[in-house]
Structure 1
Amino acid sequence: MRFSIQKELFDLFPGLTIGMVVAMGVDNSRHSQEIDDLLSQAIGEMKKNFVAEKAQDHPRIKPWRNAFSKLGISGSKFPSSIESMARRILKGDPFPKINPLVDLYNSLSLKYLVPMGGHDLDTLEGDLHLRFAEGWEPFTPMDGGEMVIVPKGELVYRDDRDVLTRNWVWRQCEKDKATEKTKNIFIPIDVLE
């Protein structure tokens, strides 16, 4: 499998850095107190030290609002995943514990205020791409919802068959989410300056 990024994305956002973690042969079925502690610590630090009144005004989150605006995406209607998580915590809403892998990358996402998501490599078809949709790609939202065809020009993570994440870092699909059965995972780390 290969991972490709459409060149125009770097032309639009010269300060963009994309890192990735690939983990193979993991056991995501066993509870980890260490990961629980990391997530609790990240949530506590955010509650105590968040430097903006509103999540979207934080200096690490605001670039996402600006980028979404540049792409014609409403940041209010489709906030980045990190903005959604920060809002939830700052409002005092409970933050879900899902499974060790998801809890680990969520704790790092919260600690460093960057969007991160995980894609189960064993569910993907062909190569992985960060690119503008061509207008034929299907997307089925995580945890229910109807399949839709993603409009041409929307920035997406996708494999050779399906959209995996809509509006760049907004919402992930059902098919490749990390579950207790996940053994091999790809975690992109998107950073905007």
Structure 2
Amino acid sequence: MSDFDVLSRAGVDEAVFDLRPDYRALLIAVDGLVPGPSDDTSEALLQEAEESARLALAQYPVEELPHMASWREAYRAFGAKPQRTRNSAEALLRRAESGLPRVNRLTDVYNAISVIHQIPLGGEDLGRYRGAPRLIRADGSEQFDTTAAGEDVTEHPTAGEVVWCDDIGVTCRRWNWRQGRRTQLNDATTTALFILDALDPMTDDELHLVGDELVRNLLPLGPEVQTHRRLIVAGRGAANDE
């Protein structure tokens, strides 16, 4: 299945839009990536993100930043406790003061963009997907592969939980809280899927600008990097942009 086919088949269930009609998902598939360790470019971007977080948190507590407050409301709407299970962007913002993780240049880029723009942004190894990504409200039978106390375990989401999944199982629990091991980025990833999650007050234009910045920082990560993009929005169809 090509990157374009994966994006064209991706979907968000109406039950999710019923929960948050303002939700939008910007999906960006990237092929031709050349794996590599953290470098001077990714380090500079992470330092920019850390400074951005310091400035933002000097004005407001993290839970009062407008987009983070919206995500906390969304978590409560499906029964999660945002004080215990924070969206990925809030978790990174809270780490920024003591220093963001340095993983590899691909992960560093998307973590930095997430912090700078205060948006949950997930990165997945698209080559490990089976079928297309879908955002659903779980029935509780779905499988999620993770670790506990250093051991591989299989968990199940709670009924009604918002999860990303493919044909095999859950790839990310609680919308954008924790990714599964099977599809996580690794040091050999050459084809990736990035999911940018937006709620009001973030606008579509702002969301696309974040996508543009992500792509701009990914293009140098290989001589033949190609990207495909799709925006999924409730009630207004979807736009595809290569």
Residue aligning to 1:192: 199
* Superposition deviation, residue 42 in structure 1: 1.0
Aligned residues of 2:140 and 2:160 also touching (Cα < 8 A): yes
The 4+ residue runs of structure 1 with deviation greater than 3 A are: 142-145
Matched ranges for 1:1-193 at <5 A? 1=6, 2-50=9-57, 52-89=59-96, 92-141=97-146, 144-145=150-151, 146-193=153-200
- How far, CA to CA, are the matches of 2:199 and 2:35 in structure 1? 30
Q: TM-score, normalised by structure 2?
A: 0.74
Residue 51 of structure 1 and its aligned partner are, at CA, apart by: 5.3
Conserved? CA contact 2:46–2:108, under 8 Å: yes
Instruction: Give SS of 1:107's match.
Output: helix
C-alpha change, 1:104 and 1:142, in structure 2 (3 Å) is: farther
Which amino acid counterpart does residue 189 of structure 2 have in structure 1? T
* Between 41-50 and 134-143, the greater mean CA deviation after superposition: 134-143
Quick one: distance in 1 between partners of 2:69 and 2:58? 12
TM superposition score normalised by structure 1? 0.91
* Percent identity for Structure 1 against Structure 2: 27
- Per-residue deviation, 1:133: 1.3
Whether the 8 Å contact between 1:39 and 1:107 is mirrored in structure 2 is: yes
Count of residue pairs the alignment pairs up:
191
Going from structure 1 to structure 2, the CA distance change for 1:141 and 1:97 (only over 3 Å counts) comes to same
Using the TM superposition, give the Cα deviation of residue 48 of structure 1 relative to its aligned residue in structure 2, in angstroms: 2.5
SS for the counterpart of 1:104 is: helix
Deviations 1:46-77 (A, max 9, x none): 11333544211111210001111111110011
Mapped contact 1:51–1:58 kept (Cα < 8 A): no
RMSD across aligned C-alpha pairs, in angstroms?
1.7
> Which stretches in structure 2 are left out of the alignment for 5+ residues?
1-5, 201-242
Q: What letter is aligned with 1:119?
A: E
Q: Which has the higher helix share?
A: 2
Displacement of 1:36 after TM fit?
1.7
Deviation of the 1:150 alpha carbon: 2.0
Q: Name structure 1 gaps, 5 residues minimum.
A: none
Question: How far 1:142 moved relative to its partner?
Answer: 6.2
Tell me the SS of whatever aligns to 2:63.
helix
